[in-house]
Structure 1
Amino acid sequence: MAAWTDLVSYIRSEYNVIEDDPDEIRVLIEYGEDDELHRSQVVIICREVLDGHEDWVQIASVCGPAADVDLHQFLTEMGETTVVCGAVVMNEHIVIRDALPLMNLDLNEFEDPLTFVAATADHLEEKFWGGDGY
């Protein structure tokens, strides 16, 4: 898979797409669909251009408002429970994200980071905000 359009076609065929724009697609990942512990996480997948010429894909998911959490505690939890992904503050929200170069991207190189970002964001959202709003 070497192009954004190829990745978007794959995502459309494999995931529950809830929003679809030219350089960004949002999917809904659901957990525990058949039980009372049902949770979901919106994951934003977008095309980024690095240095004006190299296509990358960014995978991101919002956890909650940054103002409502102790960032030191949050980052400590991330450090103790995650191996991949990073946390940033974007538009006043804490976002878990990862990025991958599109050139020569293989499906398994996309699947694992997508799964890790969604699961990490959902875990941290539940632990620090107690809800399932994102």
Structure 2
Amino acid sequence: MATWGDLAAYVRDQYDVISEEGDEIRILFSFEHLDEEDERTQVVILVREVLDAKHEWVQIASPVGIAANCDLRALLEEVGHSSIASGAAIMGEHVVLRHSLPLETLDIHEFVEPLSLLAGTADQIEEIFFGGDNY
């Protein structure tokens, strides 16, 4: 993986793309489940970022809920205990979990594993703090 174009092509081939505009791709990440009643998904947003006008990065982010509707301290403590591949931020009105990776030397496993970990953690945080599967 060396460019945003390479990553975007891989994502289009491997994931359920729900929208794409410019340097942003939104996917619906589906979790393997044991029964159809417990099927859960998570919206994940991939964005190309450029550092110092020359270094391409991919930001992986997933919304979990509206910031005003939760105990942010408790949420941050939970993220601190349960996440190894994401941090929490507020973007607009939403709490999101996010992680960034440089594209120049990125191996596909260095993308897939953090993506999976972030999506799983976001799904858990969403369930714990917002009581549903809205994103």
**Aligned 8 A contact 1:46 1:58 in 2:** yes
Which residue in 1 is equivalent to 2:98?
97
Whole-angstrom CA distance in 2 between matches of 1:11 and 1:84? 19
Change in 2 beyond 3 A, CA 1:55/1:33? farther
Deviation at 1:84, TM superposition (A): 2.1
Whole-angstrom CA distance in 2 between matches of 1:33 and 1:15? 20
- Correspondence list, 1:1-134, <5 A: 1-31=1-31, 32=33, 34-134=35-135
Question: How many positions carry a matched residue from both structures?
Answer: 134
Whole-angstrom CA distance in 2 between matches of 1:79 and 1:86? 8
Deviation at 1:22, TM superposition (A): 2.3
Deviation at 1:28, TM superposition (A): 0.4
Which contiguous aligned blocks of 4+ residues in structure 1 show a shift greater than 3 angstroms? none
User: CA offsets, 1:59-110, max 9 Å, x none?
Assistant: 0000000000111111111112122211000001100000000102110010
When normalised by structure 2's length, the TM-score is 0.95
Instruction: Give the share of equivalent positions with the same residue, in percent.
Output: 51
Whole-angstrom CA distance in 1 between matches of 2:35 and 2:28? 16
**Aligned 8 A contact 1:89 1:95 in 2:** yes
Structure 2 residues not aligned, in runs of 5+: none
**Letter matched to residue 82 of structure 1:** S
Deviation at 1:34, TM superposition (A): 4.2
When normalised by structure 1's length, the TM-score is 0.96
Structure 1 residues not aligned, in runs of 5+: none
User: CA offsets, 1:30-68, max 9 Å, x none?
Assistant: 122842111110000010011221110000000000000
CA RMSD of aligned residues (A): 1.1
